[in-house]
Structure 1
Amino acid sequence: MAKKGGYTISDIYQGGYSSLNPSYGDVFTGYHVGAGSLGLTTDPRTANVLQEASAKLSTGVKQIELSAIQPEIFESIPKQQLKEINRLSKLTGVDISVHGPVIEASGVTREGFSESNRESAERQMALAVERSHEINPKGNIPVTFHSSAIIPQAIPQKEKKLEEAYAINAESGSVIRVPLKKKEFPGEKKEINIQEEIKTINRDQWSENIRGMLYYADRGEEAINQAQLLARSAEAERKAGREVTAAEKRAESILEHGRTFLDDSYRQLRGLFEIGYKHSSDQEKKILEEYKKKIGPKVEQLKKAKDNYEYVETQKEIIEEGIKVLRKVEPQIFKPLDIFAKEKSAQTFANVAFNSYKEFQDDSPIISIENPPAGAAFSTGEELKKLVDEARKKFTEKAVQEGIDEGEAKRAAEKLIGVTWDVGHINMLRKYGYKAEDIIKETEAVKPFVKHIHLSDNFGGEHTELPMGMGNVPIKEMLEKLGKKGEEAKKIIEAGNWWQHFKTPPVKETLEAFGSPIYAMQMAPYWNQTLGFQQAYYGGLSGQWLPQVNYETFGAGFFQLPMELGGQRQGTQGGRMSGRPME
């Protein structure tokens, strides 16, 4: 830098003194990462993973992740290719990991929840784990699954309260929005609580169900009382062989309608009893148990009724008593979606991990649960932590039930169930108004669980993937917060948008961003310093770096010698050294 004539000349030559500084370059993130822990993904659009992995090896990376996020793509990978990937890994010394298909582990679909859907998701994931084991049968290959594929997570805007949340009907599987806006009507609570709102929804829904049952019971009883006398008379007339009057026929029709209403009410009673028993508290179940014992003999009497009139009277008694009992309970049919999904997803992850552990023991693949883009379920560090905790808990319980020592079960759960932390996904909290310090805090929440890291940079607004150092992901602070866990984890470069628009591997840019050591000694010089070298360090000795005109102008070298002696001047007129006689 020089000052002259009232102005400053600065950095007119890129390769100035500053390129010797270990922190040189505006792309450097401030955190040095060894090149050996960095890896690339295969193209998720193709099942030809062998060709993809071979191509990626030419970049010099030591980690390759087979990316098969679409279930149909994963199913299209031939088993022979996985065996060849195993051989390729052994031959090159490259570690392989797998990004499994993106599947909704909870069993919730756009049509709702069913246990059958959850079991199908579990089988798909188990197959992915089993096939991944073929790639590395003697090691714990990391297999990444997203924590959720379609379920939303309600995230409030920074320093604001949630405006809505989600609840799921545990019986039908349907999802509803729950407004959490302030209410102005007199007597309403000013502070809205999701738990209280869902409790109110359950109370109202249960009351409506009972009213529906009561409506049919009242209509049935009214019709029966109105027509029963004449209907009995019609029955007696027929037995006596006399003709039935029009009024008596109408009475019989009304009586039949009454019985239909009563049957509908009785059917609803049975259904509500099952729902109530399934979703009520332990104390409420005791009330239902007492009712069950009380009506047991009457139900048997109903089956043995000699005529329709005895049947109807017994049925009415059961229904009347049932309505009284159902009004005493308040089953929680609607549940907060995040709690319900956590329970079901944890069950799936635990089952997949445990069944794999039973089959492969210490060589079982690692189930690494990834945070999806912010706004999807379990996308924040705190929520993902709860999911992994629950999955490990269920794994341990299942193992203990099968006779495994509890301590051993807990160690296996901690080893085989962890987190893939996607730094680009969590950075998308910025669109909700969150800052770098909030994103770092979310990273701290998952620190004990991290097994694997996905690297992509963005600006927080959209789900884009650039090499690190090109967006505003606070990667330096995030990796510092992860500490040893971050150092040990394999770091896979996910830069789909870079490949899309710039058509080159993102390895060089990532090495520069992390200031990776050029040599294996893990010391200077670093890749970020190469930006200041002539022609760039990685560019080779190309171009006119030793221009011939220098020698012609200044007379250096052997240019003026004849070609016979290594120069470029042809021997003429029988030069002494030409091999021809002098003329």
Structure 2
Amino acid sequence: MGDYKISDIYQGGYSSLNPEYSSLFTGYRVKDTSTIGVSSDPRTANILKDVSDKLSTGQKVIELSMIDLGTPLDTISKQQLEEVNRLSKLTGVDITVHGPIVDASGITQQGVFDDAQREIIERKLINSIERSQQLNKDGNISVTFHTANSLPGAMWSKTKKGEKILAMPVVNQETGQLSMAREEEKYYPHPVPVKGERSGEVVPVGKPVIYTPGETIKIMNDTKWSNDLDQVEFNRQHANKLLEEIHPIFIGRYLQWKEHEYNPDKVPNPNIEPKEYEEIRKIYTANAYLNESQRKVNALFDDAVKYSPPEKKEELKKLANEYTKILVDGKNNPKVESDAIFMLTQRLSSMESPKIFLPAEEYALDKTTQTFGNVAFDSWKRFGGSKKAPIVNIENPPAGFGLSRGEDLKNVVQGARKKFVEIATKPKREGGAGLSESEAKLEAEKMIGVTWDVGHINQLRKFGFSGEDIIKEAEKIAPLVKHIHLSDNFGMDNIELPMGMGNVDLKEVMEKLGEKGEKAKKIVEAAHWWQHMQSSPYAVTLEATGSPIYSMGMAPYWNQAIGLQQGYLGGLEGQWLPQINYETFGTSFSNLPMGLGGQHQATGRGRFSGTPME
């Protein structure tokens, strides 16, 4: 017999023997398909029908999107939640929840931080926890919340030299108003020694001094502090000019008059002569200037206490005692009061400016951790501890929003856990749980974790970040991950496609998340796929993640499924003999099973005349 070679009938077809095949396959293989699910439609309140429809795909986990966008959370009745709970028990499906997308920091739609608004948001999140518990009263249902929704983030730029912040939002802590600090260039008519981040440099005349956003914020604080102190001194000097024109004897008469005003029964009326009124009137005018200075310097001292580092508090306390002693010893003498104000302003001006203007994300971090810490403890206390209470999982919003990077999310979770511990260790009579610190820390770790959205963080690419940079972001939060959201995009916009259709490096990201990522529920968020393709992304996700077709966990995998061939009695369908085969070559039979040579019913026409065969 001569040598011969059997070749594929159709060259370039799918190979069912290649476990790495498929343009969708991401290289990361999810062995346990029960950890993969899709989210419900956030636009409908009929979640029972939506969940029932999605169960037909065979998935074992579904996330209810109660995100409060388009359809308010309160339109979902408690009966719907109870029926979904029954359905999940009957089918053995796990339910998770995506809670309302709000700003836990309390920033309003007008861009103002408001603590009253933060408390409203906290109650809203607690309400969503209560409603989520109806879906699983016997276990820890995962409830996901974003760190932020409308809070703006820093404007980053990634170059060969490293990361750079071009602009960052700034909050005035006194008013809650937002502004923007940008990188600025300023020219001066003299050489300028550079301070702060580049201390030691001297910029010559003709070249701009470049201020980073961080340095711009310091300039904002220094300028405000200096201007406010100047206003105090302006009023004090006006008072001094008037007092210098007045003879000390009239000041004495003025003090007698004031004592009579305060204690008319004990201090007799000094009976000031008409010719003395002009001088006394000047003293009253000077005193009005001093009162304004006093009011302003009191406000500045309050700012110094509130917005200066903790180590400055003791120094400020000593300064306050010294100032008070001078005023008491002066017994309402306006000259003594003027000297006391001068002393206080001089000492305040020598101190570092209070941080009234603060990076908005730094300010929001404190408020956000307070909210999530309170919500998690309320869940723990209300529903019987960490064995049954809904878990608070905090998600990174799309890159570009505030608190959206790996380090931000890590700080939010750790801060919320710290707040949980602070409350839990308080005595029960004070609203706590009376736990030891070690017990409280353990419970906090169980109750608060991370939902890592691989599509959201991928949008760092629009700032110049590489795939390697984004993988490092995942590494920062890996130990905290309890839940994962899967969506693909190209890094430019908040687009949600199934995995394998964009440039998210899923394999590398999941490798960094390790065992926690492998065990976590993975919810496919593919809104734009639903919108345009009108089909579930579950099947293509199984293909993208190379999940095994059979429960034994071995080959073949879903990324190979498109190349698998049916047997002869199945009609040799698929890539082996596609419909075009029948349309091209036809058959001599009609209405017979394909296994016996019958023609595809879809065509219904012969190959010659084009008329129906019957």
Residue 169 in structure 1 maps to residue 172 in structure 2: yes
Deviates more, 1:134-143 or 1:518-527: 518-527
Residue equivalent to 2:49: 51
**Structure 1 residue corresponding to 2:194, chosen from 182, 188, 201:** 188
Aligned equivalents of 1:38, 1:229: Cα separation in 2? 87
Residue 284 in structure 1 maps to residue 312 in structure 2: yes
**Structure 2 residue corresponding to 1:39, chosen from 33, 37, 40:** 37
1:252 to 1:447, Cα distance in 2 relative to 1, 3 A: same
Deviates more, 1:176-185 or 1:512-521: 176-185
Residue equivalent to 2:375: 352
Aligned residue identity for 2:38: L
Q: Could you say what secondary structure the match of 1:20 adopts?
A: coil
Q: Contact 1:46–1:73 at 8 Å: present in 2 too?
A: no
Structure 2: stretches of 5+ with no match in the other structure: 1-6, 199-210, 255-269, 428-433, 567-571, 598-614
Aligned residue identity for 1:157: K
Residue equivalent to 1:385: 410
Instruction: Give the C-alpha shift of residue 123 in structure 1.
Output: 1.8
1:399-435 deviation digits (Å, cap 9, x = unpaired) = 2334212222222111111111111111111111222
Q: Contact 2:489–2:495 at 8 Å: present in 1 too?
A: yes
Residue equivalent to 1:124: 124
Instruction: Give the C-alpha shift of residue 257 in structure 1.
Output: 4.8
Instruction: Give the C-alpha shift of residue 272 in structure 1.
Output: 1.2
Residue equivalent to 1:207: 226
- 1:133-532 counterparts in 2 under 5 A? 133-154=133-154, 155-159=156-160, 160=162, 161-181=164-184, 186-189=192-195, 191=198, 196-223=215-242, 225=244, 257-296=285-324, 310=332, 312-313=334-335, 315-330=337-352, 331-360=354-383, 361=385, 362-402=387-427, 403-532=434-563
1:260-309 deviation digits (Å, cap 9, x = unpaired) = 3322211112211111112223453333222322344666689xx8xxxx
Q: Could you say what secondary structure the match of 1:103 adopts?
A: coil
Aligned equivalents of 2:588, 2:124: Cα separation in 1? 69
Aligned equivalents of 1:87, 1:510: Cα separation in 2? 27
TM-score (normalised: structure 1): 0.82
Q: Contact 2:107–2:118 at 8 Å: present in 1 too?
A: yes
Q: Contact 1:22–1:525 at 8 Å: present in 2 too?
A: yes
Aligned equivalents of 2:235, 2:574: Cα separation in 1? 83
Aligned equivalents of 2:122, 2:271: Cα separation in 1? 68
* Alignment RMSD (CA, Å): 3.8
Q: Contact 1:287–1:325 at 8 Å: present in 2 too?
A: no
Question: Aligned pair count?
Answer: 538
Aligned equivalents of 2:526, 2:329: Cα separation in 1? 72
Q: Could you say what secondary structure the match of 1:464 adopts?
A: coil
Aligned equivalents of 2:548, 2:248: Cα separation in 1? 99
1:320-358 deviation digits (Å, cap 9, x = unpaired) = 333233223332222333322222211221121122112
Aligned equivalents of 1:318, 1:79: Cα separation in 2? 65
Aligned equivalents of 2:272, 2:324: Cα separation in 1? 40
Aligned equivalents of 2:293, 2:302: Cα separation in 1? 14
1:448-483 deviation digits (Å, cap 9, x = unpaired) = 111111111111111101111111111122122222
Aligned equivalents of 1:19, 1:202: Cα separation in 2? 66
Instruction: Give the C-alpha shift of residue 532 in structure 1.
Output: 2.1
Aligned equivalents of 2:86, 2:348: Cα separation in 1? 65
Instruction: Give the C-alpha shift of residue 140 in structure 1.
Output: 0.7
Aligned residue identity for 1:274: D
Instruction: Give the C-alpha shift of residue 241 in structure 1.
Output: 11
Higher Cα radius of gyration: 1
Q: Contact 1:551–1:557 at 8 Å: present in 2 too?
A: no
What percentage of residue pairs aligned between the two structures are identical?
43
Q: Could you say what secondary structure the match of 1:131 adopts?
A: helix
**Structure 2 residue corresponding to 1:25, chosen from 22, 26, 32:** 22
Aligned equivalents of 1:446, 1:241: Cα separation in 2? 77
Q: Contact 2:184–2:212 at 8 Å: present in 1 too?
A: no
Q: Contact 1:40–1:63 at 8 Å: present in 2 too?
A: yes
Residue equivalent to 1:108: 107
Q: Could you say what secondary structure the match of 2:169 adopts?
A: strand
Instruction: Give the C-alpha shift of residue 550 in structure 1.
Output: 5.4
Q: Contact 1:164–1:181 at 8 Å: present in 2 too?
A: no
Aligned equivalents of 2:341, 2:596: Cα separation in 1? 115
Instruction: Give the C-alpha shift of residue 546 in structure 1.
Output: 9.9
1:287 to 1:240, Cα distance in 2 relative to 1, 3 A: closer
Q: Could you say what secondary structure the match of 2:551 adopts?
A: coil
Deviates more, 1:86-95 or 1:172-181: 172-181
TM-score (normalised: structure 2): 0.78
